[in-house]
Structure 1
């Protein structure tokens, strides 16, 4: 089994994934605000109990590594490190940039729709945003720190206006910015529910990375 955790922002998410069956067994996503430390492990323990699984069934762990709040990212990474040390058999451990979890369910859809790039967005606080640009034909690409951009919504809007091709924008896009983006005919803002970061998507993506021998 693979366990995926995302506590990088106030939206926390936990998933249990069966790599052999390529099946999501359990997932919970909620607004933890600043309660990731208190709530995440109990949620995972409840999921394992519901599935009649124990810690020794865990063979792999995946976690988001940022961007996000410093505290949120640290909580997730620390939990995964602690779990890995506590398991009888050392698991495979994979960290993925937070925005990979946003685009994971969208890249195949974007490629089928003839979209040239998916721009994933994360709110960084104080009116600023983080974003990275993903190619639909590169599902196992991991953005480096240099591939991430930070700035106010106006900067993102200007970048989108000047970018060529058909574009999708997904993730934590403020409503007023979404309205402004919609004025550009070559850009489509993905529905917020579809662009929600979910640990189930993170888990499936991590399973693909591990199957490809990328860690």
Structure 2
């Protein structure tokens, strides 16, 4: 769980906790403590930016609901940021830092485990070192895909730059899939384990501005990129029932 309070590019307060199973219990007290630690009150906040997914169903749902409620109570606008873009943005920023910095142009691929060999992923292009405004653009939409096949397709794309950086949950099984996908690809393929930061959510909100602003907080919606397992089973059962009724009529 990550949250931050910023004034433009100035960081007033930041907090990250490992609350994988109890977001609903931890989130509100953490927000209150975050605001107080900066010497502010809730009514001093002027806007809310939230990572709206895709990712963990529970985490995304609770985060977006809390952001909507907070914004509605205070009459604030909401900036609905792609969690994958924030992940990619932060991973690229980190990759460009230090003595072994990665250089542009490059493609950046965020990846979060969606189980069964699938990943929540997207594709972004960086045309300058660091996440400079105007040099960062989206190439592929947020989606759930088979990770190895999608990575292989991007690595063999004709318009691919020389460097491709995979960021996020790219260790373990994903590392093996990536090694297999990269075999024979004439590219510099890098892995950067990384977690989404609220500071990068804020950075994307500043950069995207009005294009992701949701004026009515109730219109801010989670992006799951796929149906939940229970929803998928319900859809499949409904389709099977419809087919059975059609056969009976015939």
Give the alignment's TM-score, normalised by structure 1.
0.77
Q: How does 1:39-118 map to 2 (within 5 A)?
A: 39-87=26-74, 90-107=75-92, 109=96, 113-118=103-108
Alignment of 1:100-139 (within 5 A): 100-107=85-92, 109=96, 113-137=103-127
Question: Which structure shows the higher helix fraction?
Answer: 2
Supply the distance in 1 between the matched residues of 2:17 and 2:146 (Cα, whole angstroms).
26
Partner of 1:147: 141
State whether residues 181 and 189 of structure 1, in contact with CA within 8 Å, keep that contact through their aligned partners in structure 2. no
Change (3 A) 1:209 1:157: closer
Whether the aligned pair in 2 keeps the contact of 1:129 and 1:153 (CA below 8 Å) is: yes
Q: Given the alignment, which residue of 153, 172, 175 partners 1:175?
A: 172
Distance 1:113 1:142, change over 3 A: closer
Which structure 2 residue ranges, 5 or more long, are not aligned?
Answer: 128-133, 214-250
Alignment of 1:32 onto 2:19 = yes
RMSD of equivalent CA atoms: 2.7
Q: Highest CA radius of gyration, 1 or 2?
A: 2
Q: How many residues align?
A: 194
2:6 to 1, 14, 17: 17
TM-score by length of 2: 0.68
Q: Secondary structure at the match of 2:192?
A: coil
> Is the Cα–Cα contact under 8 Å of residues 115 and 168 in structure 1 kept in the other structure?
no
Which segments of 5 or more consecutive residues in structure 1 lack a partner in the other structure?
1-11
